[in-house]
Amino acid sequence: MVKTVVVTGASGGIGSEIARVFAENGWNVAMMYNNSETEALELEKEIENKGVKTFCKKCDVASIQEVKEFFAEAEKKLGLISALVNNAGVALQKLFTDVTEEEAEKIYDINVRGVFNCTKAVLPGMIREKYGKIVNISSMWGICGASCEVHYSSSKAAVIGYTKALAKEVGPSSVNVNCVCPGVIDTKMNRNLDEDAMNMLKDEIPLMKIGTPRDVAETVYFLCSDKSSYITGQIISVDGGMVI
């Protein structure tokens, strides 16, 4: 039976690569995006050309109603959902004292509430089937914190705590819940940095190189595959050894 994965934030650098890896391994892929419609629709066509079924729709993960509608449509079109990758997220680099209430609310709504909403939509089916894989994308800053990224760091730390707790709760139902914490990855988010800044970052990474979206995507896929059936509640860093 062909399995189906839901990837939130699928139009971004990491999200799109996650979708590609699942498609390359024969999975049907439901892709959720919020802002980048052009990129999302292009990705949908690309993945369809790999011979799998797709479903792509705009959805605000902070809206429980939109999320419920998305999952209902995805399941109707692609079948039972076997895996969920909570990848959607927003970042903010700003002094703590300068962050507005609206900016803080947006970060927690997407990075934390969004994870809760999507999990709540998919979990009943996984518990009923006694099978499911949930992978949450956090950040190395969720582990150690980052100056001028207090709200982002704390929201990603919440995802780590959520992963550990939920894994214990749904383990008896044979649902695996894990978390991946990317480090410095070559995405649009980091391409505003000049060469000197990137070289300084490389000097801080034991492997002396910047990570790629594929590095993260392959790890996520492993955690959703049957090869990781005895792994749950784990926080796996994909950061070249930057945070140990």
CB 216 within 8 A of CB 187: no
Which residue numbers in the chain have pLDDT < 70?
Answer: 191-192
85 membership: H or E segment, kind and range: strand 83-86
pLDDT value for 9: 97
Question: Residues near 165 by Cβ (< 8 Å), separated by ≥ 6?
Answer: none
Residue 236 dihedral angles phi and psi, to the nearest 5°: -110, 120
**For the chain, which domains are there?**
4-185+212-238 (3.40.50.720)
Give me the catalytic one of 33, 108, 131, 152.
Answer: 152
Secondary structure E strands in 89-227:
132-137, 175-182
Strand partners, 181: 237
pLDDT value for 74: 98
Question: Residues of the chain with pLDDT > 90: what percent?
Answer: 92
pLDDT value for 192: 67
Strands 4-8 and 28-33: parallel
* Structure tokens, 99: 């962050």
Active-site annotation holds for 108 = no
CB 50 within 8 A of CB 76: no
pLDDT value for 135: 99
